Amino acid sequence: MIALKLAYKNLVGAGLRTLLIVFVLSLAYVLIIYMNGLYQGWDRQARIETIAWEVAEGQYWQTEYDPYDAMTLTDAHAPVPAELEASVSEGKAVPILITQATIYPEGRMMGALLKGIDTRQKLLSIPTDLLDPDSDEITAIVGTRLAKAAGLEIGDKLLIRWRDVNGTFDATDLKIAEIFKTAVPAVDQGQVWIPLSTLQEITGMSGEASLVVVDKSPGEGTSISGWEFKGHDFLFKALEEMIKSKTVGGSVFYLIILALALLAIFDTQVLSIFRRQREIGTYIAMGMTRKQVVGIFTVEGGMHAILAVVLGALYGFPLLLWTTKTGIKMPEGTDDFGMAAAEHMYPYYSLALIIGTIILVMIATTIVSYMPSRKISKMNPNDAIRGKII
Amino acid sequence: MKNGSIITIESLIKSFPIGGGEFTALNGINLTFAKGEFSGIVGPSGSGKTTLLNILGSLDSPTKGHTNVLGTASDQMNPRVSAMLRKKHIGFIFQTYNLMPVYTVFENVEFPLLLLKTPAAERKKAVLEALEWVGISDKVKSKPPQLSGGESQRVAIARAMVKKPDLVLADEPTANLDAENSHHILQTMENLNKELQTTFVFATHDEKVIGYLRRIITLEDGKVVSDKNIKK
């Protein structure tokens, strides 16, 4: 208690110097929380969007299916397993058939994935109800990214060529029924969605699918003969790794701010110990042990971190709260990198992030305060009392 | 410890390494101090006065010889024991006052009691009493930079006396004061010595201080050259 009381009084007595250090340290708090909150918000938002648009609660993959190897698509199809048929008919599972295709927008040639999906499905946010399986022409929906890349508009005809189950090429015109906007590039870039029954018919893969999206996870690694379940842990691995690498990059920025604040504290502590030799000697003369005096100076340095929490909360709380309401506008083209990213990023500041940051800064500050304070334990109190230590 | 004495010093030698050699600051000192003494160690600069005072205050330890201060022998001393001795039984008064600049007068005087974990009500009573002894009750809320030299030293005396120690060690307490303030300070300390039976040991070469002492120990080149009791 004495150490806290003395430390508080000494900091208040130091006036502007304390205020400056505390301000820089509070900046470190706010920036660390803001940057990490942004990444956490991005992660959270990307998960929510990806679940809504692409993966739901998981996917059964036909064992040959590998989204990163287009060559596997030729063989990555099989009849929807009997175990999932009931779920499919109840709308709790959505089979998707995928095949390679080539589209010819405005006379150009582009590779694409032709995806067949049940038009009645409600599990994913893809507006499949705009597809008409009974129409004379094949209706298709595409995302804004593909529409932009291929110069497509609603009502346009798009020539598409594909190979059927026997490897025979066929081609026809699709009618673009809708262009949908999504934050998930994986259901947009280079993807053309048509009714499942139509794709099964034109490829000769009747009743087959490449993957089945489900509304309930049976548990990671569960398999049905010829199909393997992929849960969130697996499906979000790439996303998490990308966010982790972004977080590490962002850390450099706030570590610089933190280092500046810690350097200021270290400098102040060194200066204090030289400037306050008489005070140190007097503490010892009045019956404090050197360890206790080291404790006072360490607490004093560490208390910068406590005051910085208070100051940081004063301006940081409303600022961070504002960012969660208004979001941060993402630069044009951010989502073209292949990560789910909405136009606005809404930071998410978890309690663990806030408490973790406070603990991290406090520990760092206390260590930095302790290091120069150790010098006190080697001081000769007689010289200190007279201010004779150089 | 000899009968009636609170400090015993036997064959004390204190030397410091200087360059490649050694400087002997105290050389074969034998002294005893009784309870309630108002004594002074006098002598020119470099005679060893402050070194002796520091050893009495357990801020330093003998190179050779033996001391016993308030029942604690020098061979029993370790940082914790010596800190405890100072905290409970010894008050210090310094030439440069050594008040904490960010604390008020009240808080400066209160500090030794905080270390002793004295309850708040007792602390307040003792601090106000100590400030009254030194006649500075009207400056309770002032801070050291707002005080004159004489006022600062009176606060320092109050701080040394507030815990009613057995021994007060005063190192050149009047060196930075004018004659009027010096006399006022010395009268205050003399009164406290008589009233509380506190033992005072001064290190000084100030004639004004010497005039108040009832025992004068003269040091020269680290040796006691005279030890006189003065009848007052």
- What residue segments make up the domains of chain B, in order of their start? 5-229
Q: What is the pLDDT of residue B145?
A: 93
- Tokens read off for A13: 């007595």
- CA-based R_g, chain B, Å: 17
**A188-201 pLDDT per residue, tens:** 999 999 999 999 99
DSSP A331: P
By residue count, chain A amounts to 390
Q: Which amino acid is at A62?
A: Q
Q: Which amino acid is at B66?
A: H
Q: Give first-to-last CA distance, chain B, whole Å.
A: 27
Q: Distance between CA A153 and CA A151 in Å, rounded?
A: 7
- Tokens read off for B60: 């330093």
The topology (CATH level 3) of B5-229 is Rossmann fold (3.40.50)
Neighbours of B132 (CB within 10 A): 11
Confidence of residue B212 (pLDDT cuts 50, 70, 90): very high
Q: Which amino acid is at A251?
A: S
Who wins on pLDDT, A380 or A388? A380
> How far, rounded to the nearest angstrom, does the alpha carbon of residue A101 sit from its chain's CA centroid?
32
DSSP A70: G
SS (H, E, C) chain B: CCCCEEEEEEEEEEEEEECCEEEEEEEEEEEEEECCCEEEEECCCCCCHHHHHHHHCCCCCCCEEEEEECCEEHHHCCHHHHHHHHHHHEEEECCCCCCCCCCCHHHHHHHHHHHCCCCHHHHHHHHHHHHHHCCCHHHCCCCHHHCCHHHHHHHHHHHHHCCCCCEEEEECCCCCCCHHHHHHHHHHHHHHHHHHCCEEEEEECCHHHHCCCCEEEEEECCEEEEEEECCC
- Tokens read off for A128: 């499949």
Contact between B29 and B223 under an 8 Å Cβ cutoff? The reply is yes
Look at A13 and B96 and tell me if their CB atoms are within 8 Å.
no
For residues A355 and A273, membership in a common domain is answered with yes
Q: Distance between CA A219 and CA A58 in Å, rounded?
A: 9
For residues A257 and A200, membership in a common domain is answered with no
Tell me which range, A34-38, A248-252, A270-274, A306-310, is most confidently predicted by mean pLDDT.
A306-310
Confidence of residue A341 (pLDDT cuts 50, 70, 90): low
Q: Which residues of A touch B102 (CB under 8 A)?
A: 9-10, 12-13
Who wins on pLDDT, A23 or A274? A23
- Tokens read off for A353: 């992030």
For residues A257 and A170, membership in a common domain is answered with no
Q: Distance between CA B156 and CA B152 in Å, rounded?
A: 6
User: Which residue on chain B is closest to A15 by alpha carbon?
Assistant: B102
Angle between helices B105-115 and A2-14 (to 10 degrees): 150
Confidence of residue A339 (pLDDT cuts 50, 70, 90): low
Q: Distance between CA B227 and CA A110 in Å, rounded?
A: 111
The answer to whether A276 faces chain B, any CB pair under 8 Å, is no
> Is the pLDDT reported for residue A388 higher than 90?
no
**B125-167 pLDDT per residue, tens:** 999 999 998 889 999 999 999 999 999 999 999 999 999 999 9
- Tokens read off for B115: 């270390």
For residues A48 and A62, membership in a common domain is answered with no
- Tokens read off for B46: 């470099």
The H or E element containing residue A35 is helix A16-50
Q: What is the pLDDT of residue A333?
A: 60
Q: What is the pLDDT of residue A332?
A: 63
Confidence of residue B1 (pLDDT cuts 50, 70, 90): low
The answer to whether A281 faces chain B, any CB pair under 8 Å, is yes
The beta-carbon neighbor of A385 closest among B85, B86, B94 is B94
User: Which residue on chain A is closest to B90 by alpha carbon?
Assistant: A286
For residues A170 and A100, membership in a common domain is answered with yes
Q: Which of A172, A195, A230 is the last residue of a domain?
A: A230
Backbone angles phi, psi at A126, to 5 degrees: -60, 130
Q: What is the pLDDT of residue A73?
A: 85
The residue range of the domain holding A327 is: 2-52+238-386
The answer to whether B80 faces chain A, any CB pair under 8 Å, is yes
**A278-317 pLDDT per residue, tens:** 888 899 999 998 888 888 888 888 888 899 999 999 999 9
For residues A281 and A369, membership in a common domain is answered with yes
**What percent of chain A is modeled with pLDDT above 90?**
43
For residues A171 and A285, membership in a common domain is answered with no
Number of domains in chain A: 2
Q: Distance between CA A201 and CA A180 in Å, rounded?
A: 25
Q: What is the pLDDT of residue A11?
A: 82
For residues A155 and A39, membership in a common domain is answered with no
- Ramachandran class of A174: left when φ > 0, alpha when ψ lies in -120 to 50, beta otherwise: beta
> Is the pLDDT reported for residue B84 higher than 60?
yes
Confidence of residue A243 (pLDDT cuts 50, 70, 90): confident
Tell me the C-alpha to C-alpha distance, in Å, between residue A134 and each of A120, A194, A197. Answer: 13, 12, 10
Who wins on pLDDT, A161 or A240? A161
Pairing of strands A227-230, A59-62: antiparallel
For residues A294 and A164, membership in a common domain is answered with no
**B98-123 pLDDT per residue, tens:** 998 888 999 999 999 999 999 999 99
CA angle B201, B205, B211 (to 5 degrees): 70
Rounded to a whole number of angstroms, the distance from the CA of B147 to the nearest CA of chain A is: 17
Residue at token pair 């205020």: A19
The answer to whether A13 faces chain B, any CB pair under 8 Å, is yes
Who wins on pLDDT, A221 or A306? A306
Q: Which of A230, A246, A280 is the last residue of a domain?
A: A230
- Tokens read off for A58: 């998981």
> Is the pLDDT reported for residue A335 higher than 70?
no
> Is the pLDDT reported for residue A82 higher than 80?
yes
The residue ranges of DSSP E strands in chain A, in sequence order, are 59-62, 78-79, 93-104, 110-117, 138-143, 157-163, 169-180, 191-195, 208-209, 211-214, 223-224, 227-230, 328-329, 344-345
Q: Which of A169, A199, A230 is the last residue of a domain?
A: A230
> Is the pLDDT reported for residue A257 higher than 80?
no
For residues A275 and A225, membership in a common domain is answered with no
Tell me what the pLDDT averaged over chain A comes to: 87
- Stretch among A316-330, B85-99, B215-229 having the lowest mean pLDDT: A316-330
> Is the pLDDT reported for residue A54 higher than 80?
yes
Alpha-carbon dihedral angle through residues A316, A319, A320, A325, given to the nearest 10 degrees = 160
Q: What is the pLDDT of residue A256?
A: 83
Rounded to a whole number of angstroms, the distance from the CA of A308 to the nearest CA of chain B is: 21
Count Cβ neighbours within 10 Å for each residue of A28-61 and write b for 16 or more, e otherwise. Answer: bbbbbbbbbbbbbbbbbbbbebbbbbbbbbbbbb
For residues A266 and A374, membership in a common domain is answered with yes
> Is the pLDDT reported for residue A36 higher than 90?
no
Q: Distance between CA A5 and CA A110 in Å, rounded?
A: 72
For residues A98 and A193, membership in a common domain is answered with yes
The answer to whether A386 faces chain B, any CB pair under 8 Å, is yes
**A114-142 pLDDT per residue, tens:** 999 999 999 999 999 999 888 888 999 99
Judge residue A227's burial from the number of C-beta atoms within 10 Å of its C-beta, 0-12 exposed, 13-18 middle, 19 or more buried. Answer: buried
Q: Which residues of B touch A18 (CB under 8 A)?
A: none
- Stretch among A76-80, A379-383, B102-106 having the lowest mean pLDDT: A379-383
Q: Distance between CA A371 and CA A297 in Å, rounded?
A: 10
Q: Which residues of A touch B100 (CB under 8 A)?
A: 279, 282
Q: Distance between CA B131 and CA B158 in Å, rounded?
A: 6
The answer to whether B175 faces chain A, any CB pair under 8 Å, is no
Q: What is the pLDDT of residue B118?
A: 94
Q: Distance between CA A113 and CA A192 in Å, rounded?
A: 6
The answer to whether A355 faces chain B, any CB pair under 8 Å, is no
Q: What is the pLDDT of residue A338?
A: 56
Residues 6+ apart with CB under 8 A from B85: A287, B58, B69, B70, B72
